């Protein structure tokens, strides 16, 4: 261990040298106290907790070929995180971009990221520690270069990966070859933002070529010799249990290897995927429904007033204003359950050999995947190596990796590698859905059209609660489910008297993280309500919103994106030729987004032709990929708002296939999606989800202008 680190005193550096050819550097980060402090801050400020955390494990490795490998603690699920992290690292190491290779860290790299990949937290959380670590790594080499050049470290210049002093030069690779004993120095000054070579540039994603040539980069593509295929059959009903399995029902079918019947799962194993699938269709399993449940029962459970309320945010007390009001305006909204419907089904390839496991898996949470497996198989965590692969879409789904556990179990039992992925129908049945929600909003306004009292009640199934995705400590500290209330807070500083209440619905099925968590539903409710209120007092929606923003920094930033989107879209309240525009905005964490849509109604369907989106997400690492994330969020949000719902009929979950579970297709995608990024020198903020917020309300607000009908539910129907 080298000398003390000044700016990163809590960070602990580990260093390893392999046979004089490579040097690696990692960091582990301390947790409990930091978590607690951060959470206290959350409760005080109403900001989402993970925005304050950094704390992953990061590894660099330099080799004699002058290549530097960076092991990312975050997983690539399409969001471009590997590229963005590479840009940050390459800048701080002052190397050529091509010199850097980025790989996923597997669990064998040491202690694991305490958080998972998700919640738009990766870049924001890693921004500081990763630069500090890269700078420290760079300094290690500068010190060695100085020795080589017989000069002082501060005299050594470094540019594009070449260290120089007068006419002498060397490289990372050369230094790896000759250095015997490395020392970890204090963290030097970080690079000046003016000198950034890669940060802020639209560098093409690192994984482009692999992804357009069909390289086997996903976990479903992994193969091992002697591999068998397992199909795990999930329970097709809610509130039901398995009462019988008859393994003889698949006797004699071709290729059958085994039928595994365990307390927590049933699986058919065969030599080919097709054989396993056929057998799973024939396997006689009896399920017994314990209590009949229909969709309307679910809706009753998710209703403001039912279950446990938590006051999650409170301004000045609005009670008197409500009591004395001549009119209280109230409004209700609902959203249904949603499926992740990522195109690659969940699954894993597990190989148990000589007492150890290797698991190739699509996971957003390496740490939890390993813990779950180790627990279930009663193995030491050290013996379980989890190798995360590129994710074929995730959106929260890959926080749960049940099949990795089952595949591991089966592999140990059969002593063969086991490839185990859901069918599409099973993927729907085994999903952890976006929870259904109900929203009840109330407001009182004065003569000038100002909101003098505001109440927002949101009822939702669990997102964070009941899930072991987060370190346990969070649930102990936070009462309400901050995943469920994400987006429900009052972020209009001009509204002073308000109360925000989150109701926890107790549902007989699994609901959890879905891109943006409560954001889509809560902003849909609030921003639809804002338009309703504006209309009530005869003020246009833009002015009405502006009137409720104060001069705090955060309100001013929201105001700026709002004004910008109005300008960019030439927003108008006028309906012309059956075409209307709608607007909505939100602040999520410290990211601000405003969106405008232009749409028409044809054959009773909403046709969105244009979406304008302005976002302030702090400093931007890769503008092209920020735009891609905005586009993706807008399209996924539109799809959820216009088409998607999961329902329960006689305890069965459905639909179980794309089509009936309709996703937006190319045909319906707006012709024009324009993204504008605000300039900012704030540290980077989350961006993988915030643009999901305003889109549904913007569509509802525009539709209202055409039909006079306020949309109160998804999937949106313009006429009822």
Partner 1 sequence: MKIEFTINGRNYKLDVNGDEPLLWLIRDTLKLKGTKFGCGKAACGACTVIIDGQATRSCSYAARIVNGKSITTIEGLENESGLHPVQQAWINQIVPQCGYCQSGFIMASVALLERFPNPTEQQINDSLTNFCRCGTYPRIRKALNEAIENMTSKPKSAV
Instruction: Please give the residue ranges that form the binding site for partner 1 (CB under 8 A).
Output: 76-80, 204-205, 207-218, 220-221, 223, 254, 272-274, 340-345, 390-395, 421, 423-424, 624-625, 628, 631-636, 639, 657-659, 663-667, 669-670, 673
516 contacts ligand FES (rule: CB under 6 A) = no
Cα(366)–Cα(117) distance, integer angstroms: 9
CB 89 within 8 A of CB 130: yes
Between helix 623-642 and helix 695-707 the angle, nearest 10°, is 50
| Least distance from ligand FES to the Cβ atom of residue 658, Å | 7
Cα(101)–Cα(108) distance, integer angstroms: 18
Question: Any residues with CB less than 8 A from the CB of 223 and at least 6 apart, and which?
Answer: 349, 419
Q: CB-wise, 11 or 205, nearer to ligand FES?
A: 205
Separation in Å, CA 538 to CA 199, 575, 595: 46, 16, 22
78 contacts ligand FES (rule: CB under 6 A) = yes
208 contacts ligand FES (rule: CB under 6 A) = no
Q: CB-wise, 349 or 488, nearer to partner 1?
A: 349
Q: CB-wise, 208 or 343, nearer to ligand FES?
A: 343
User: In Å, how far from its chain's centre is CA 137?
Assistant: 29
| Least distance from ligand FES to the Cβ atom of residue 655, Å | 15
Q: CB-wise, 145 or 339, nearer to ligand FES?
A: 339
Binder of residue 391, out of ligand FES, partner 1, none (CB less than 5 to 8 A by kind): partner 1
Cα(436)–Cα(298) distance, integer angstroms: 8
Calculate Rg over the CA atoms of the chain: 27
Q: CB-wise, 140 or 699, nearer to partner 1?
A: 699
Q: CB-wise, 121 or 344, nearer to ligand FES?
A: 344
| Least distance from partner 1 to the Cβ atom of residue 683, Å | 24
Cα(15)–Cα(25) distance, integer angstroms: 5
Binder of residue 126, out of ligand FES, partner 1, none (CB less than 5 to 8 A by kind): none
| Least distance from partner 1 to the Cβ atom of residue 534, Å | 30
Residue 683: CB atoms within 10 Å? 12
| Least distance from partner 1 to the Cβ atom of residue 435, Å | 19
Binder of residue 208, out of ligand FES, partner 1, none (CB less than 5 to 8 A by kind): partner 1
Binder of residue 273, out of ligand FES, partner 1, none (CB less than 5 to 8 A by kind): partner 1
Torsion from C-alpha of 8, 12, 17, 22, nearest 10 degrees = -40
494 contacts ligand FES (rule: CB under 6 A) = no
What is the side-by-side order of every strand in the sheet holding 58-63?
Answer: 12-18, 22-28, 58-63, 68-72, 100-104
Binder of residue 26, out of ligand FES, partner 1, none (CB less than 5 to 8 A by kind): none
178 contacts ligand FES (rule: CB under 6 A) = no
343 contacts ligand FES (rule: CB under 6 A) = yes
| Least distance from ligand FES to the Cβ atom of residue 285, Å | 25
Q: Are strands 68-72 and 100-104 parallel, antiparallel or unpaired?
A: parallel
Short-list 636, 541, 535, CA closest to 594: 541
Q: CB-wise, 393 or 715, nearer to ligand FES?
A: 393
Separation in Å, CA 176 to CA 60, 357, 560: 13, 33, 50
665 contacts ligand FES (rule: CB under 6 A) = no
Q: Which residues are paired to 347 by β-bridges?
A: 421
Cα(92)–Cα(199) distance, integer angstroms: 10
Binder of residue 205, out of partner 1, ligand FES, none (CB less than 5 to 8 A by kind): partner 1
655 contacts ligand FES (rule: CB under 6 A) = no
Separation in Å, CA 70 to CA 134, 501, 522, 570: 10, 44, 38, 45
Q: CB-wise, 106 or 342, nearer to ligand FES?
A: 342
Q: CB-wise, 538 or 659, nearer to ligand FES?
A: 659
Short-list 538, 581, 578, CA closest to 697: 581
Binder of residue 317, out of partner 1, ligand FES, none (CB less than 5 to 8 A by kind): none
Kind and range of the H or E run holding 45: helix 32-45
How many chain residues touch ligand FES (CB under 6 A)?
A: 3
Cα(330)–Cα(669) distance, integer angstroms: 33
Residue with the two structure tokens 């185990």: 420
Residue with the two structure tokens 């001069």: 551
Binder of residue 471, out of partner 1, ligand FES, none (CB less than 5 to 8 A by kind): none
Q: CB-wise, 218 or 310, nearer to ligand FES?
A: 218
Beta-carbon-side half-sphere exposure of residue 43 (alpha carbons within 13 Å): 15
| Least distance from partner 1 to the Cβ atom of residue 226, Å | 13
Binder of residue 584, out of ligand FES, partner 1, none (CB less than 5 to 8 A by kind): none
Short-list 97, 100, 104, 49, CA closest to 72: 104
| Least distance from ligand FES to the Cβ atom of residue 632, Å | 8
483 contacts ligand FES (rule: CB under 6 A) = no
What is the side-by-side order of every strand in the sheet holding 157-159?
Answer: 157-159, 162-165, 168-171
Q: CB-wise, 86 or 453, nearer to partner 1?
A: 86
Separation in Å, CA 639 to CA 178, 339, 632: 57, 11, 10
Encoded tokens for 401: 């990796």
Site string for ligand FES, 619-638 (x = CB under 6 A): --------------------
Q: CB-wise, 17 or 224, nearer to partner 1?
A: 224
| Least distance from partner 1 to the Cβ atom of residue 80, Å | 7
Q: CB-wise, 208 or 311, nearer to ligand FES?
A: 208
- Which residues in the 106-165 window bind ligand FES by CB under 6 A? none
690 contacts ligand FES (rule: CB under 6 A) = no
393 contacts ligand FES (rule: CB under 6 A) = yes
CB 360 within 8 A of CB 369: no
- Closest residue to ligand FES using C-beta atoms: 343
Q: CB-wise, 159 or 210, nearer to partner 1?
A: 210
Binder of residue 212, out of partner 1, ligand FES, none (CB less than 5 to 8 A by kind): partner 1
CB 308 within 8 A of CB 484: no
| Least distance from partner 1 to the Cβ atom of residue 106, Å | 20
2 contacts ligand FES (rule: CB under 6 A) = no
Residues that bind ligand FES (CB under 6 A): 78, 343, 393
């Amino acid at each position: 261990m080298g000398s003390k680190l000044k700016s990163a005193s809590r960070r602990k550096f580990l260093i390893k040298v392999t046979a004089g050819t490579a040097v690696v550097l990692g960091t582990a980060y301390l947790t409990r106290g930091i978590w607690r402090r951060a959470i206290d801050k959350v409760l005080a400020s109403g900001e989402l907790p993970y925005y304050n955390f950094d704390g992953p494990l990061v590894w660099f490795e330099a080799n004699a070929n002058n290549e530097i490998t960076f092991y990312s603690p975050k997983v690539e699920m399409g969001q471009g995180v590997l590229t963005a992290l590479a840009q940050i690292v390459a800048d701080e190491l002052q190397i050529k971009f091509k010199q850097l290779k980025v790989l996923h860290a597997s669990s064998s790299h040491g202690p694991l990221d305490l958080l998972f990949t998700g919640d738009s937290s990766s870049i924001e959380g890693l921004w500081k520690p990763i630069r500090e670590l890269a700078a420290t790594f760079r300094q290690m080499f500068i010190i060695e270069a100085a020795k080589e050049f017989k000069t002082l470290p501060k005299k050594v210049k470094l540019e594009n990966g070449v260290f120089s002093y007068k006419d002498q030069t060397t490289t990372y690779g050369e230094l790896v070859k000759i250095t015997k004993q490395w020392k970890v120095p204090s963290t030097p000054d970080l690079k000046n933002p003016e000198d950034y070579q890669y940060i802020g540039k639209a560098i093409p994603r690192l994984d482009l070529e692999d992804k357009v040539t069909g390289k086997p980069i996903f976990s479903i593509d992994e193969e091992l010799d002697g591999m068998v295929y397992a199909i795990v059959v999930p329970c097709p009903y809610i509130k039901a249990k398995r009462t019988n399995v008859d393994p003889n029902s698949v006797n004699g079918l071709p290729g059958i290897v085994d039928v595994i019947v365990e307390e927590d799962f049933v699986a058919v194993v065969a030599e080919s995927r097709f054989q396993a699938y056929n057998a799973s269709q024939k396997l006689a399993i009896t399920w017994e429904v314990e209590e009949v449940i229909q969709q309307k029962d679910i809706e009753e459970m998710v209703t403001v007033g039912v279950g446990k309320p938590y006051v999650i945010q409170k301004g000045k007390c609005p009670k008197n204003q409500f009591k004395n009001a001549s009119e209280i305006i109230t409004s209700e909204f609902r959203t249904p359950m949603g499926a992740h419907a990522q195109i690659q089904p969940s699954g894993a390839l597990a190989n148990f050999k000589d007492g150890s496991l290797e698991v190739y898996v699509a996971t957003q949470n390496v740490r939890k995947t390993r813990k779950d497996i180790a627990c279930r198989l009663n193995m030491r965590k050290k013996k379980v190596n989890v190798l995360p692969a590129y994710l074929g879409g995730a959106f929260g789904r890959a926080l749960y990796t049940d099949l990795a556990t089952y595949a591991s179990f089966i592999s140990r039992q059969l002593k063969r590698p086991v490839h185990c992925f859901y069918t599409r129908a099973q993927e729907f049945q085994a999903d952890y859905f976006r929870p259904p929600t109900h929203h009840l909003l109330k407001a009182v306004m004065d003569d000038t059209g100002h909101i003098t009292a505001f109440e927002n009640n949101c009822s939702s199934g669990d997102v964070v609660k009941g899930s072991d995705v987060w370190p346990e400590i969070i649930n102990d500290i936070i009462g309400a489910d901050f995943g469920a209330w994400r987006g429900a807070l009052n972020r209009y500083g001009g509204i002073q008297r308000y109360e925000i209440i989150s109701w926890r619905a107790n549902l007989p099925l699994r609901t959890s993280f879905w891109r943006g968590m409560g954001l889509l539903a809560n902003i849909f409710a609030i921003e639809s309500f804002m338009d309703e209120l504006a209309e009530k007092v005869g003020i246009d929606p833009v002015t009405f919103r502006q009137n409720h923003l104060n001069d705090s920094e955060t309100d001013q930033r929201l105001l700026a994106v709002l004004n910008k989107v109005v300008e960019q879209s030439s927003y108008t309240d006028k309906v012309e030729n059956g075409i209307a525009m709608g607007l909505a905005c939100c602040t999520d964490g410290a990211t601000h987004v405003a969106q405008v849509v232009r749409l028409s109604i044809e054959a009773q369907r909403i046709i969105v032709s244009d979406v304008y989106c302005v976002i302030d997400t702090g400093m931007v690492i890769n503008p092209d990929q920020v735009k891609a994330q905005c586009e993706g969020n807008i399209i996924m949000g539109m799809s959820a708002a216009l088409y998607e719902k999961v329902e329960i009929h006689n305890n069965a979950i459905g639909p179980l296939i794309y089509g009936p579970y309709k996703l937006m297709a190319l045909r319906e995608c707006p012709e024009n999606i324009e993204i504008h990024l605000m300039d900012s020198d704030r540290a980077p903020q989350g961006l993988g989800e915030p643009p999901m917020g305003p889109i549904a309300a913007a569509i509802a607000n525009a539709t209202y202008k055409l039909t006079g009908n306020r949309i109160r539910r998804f999937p949106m129907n313009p006429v009822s």
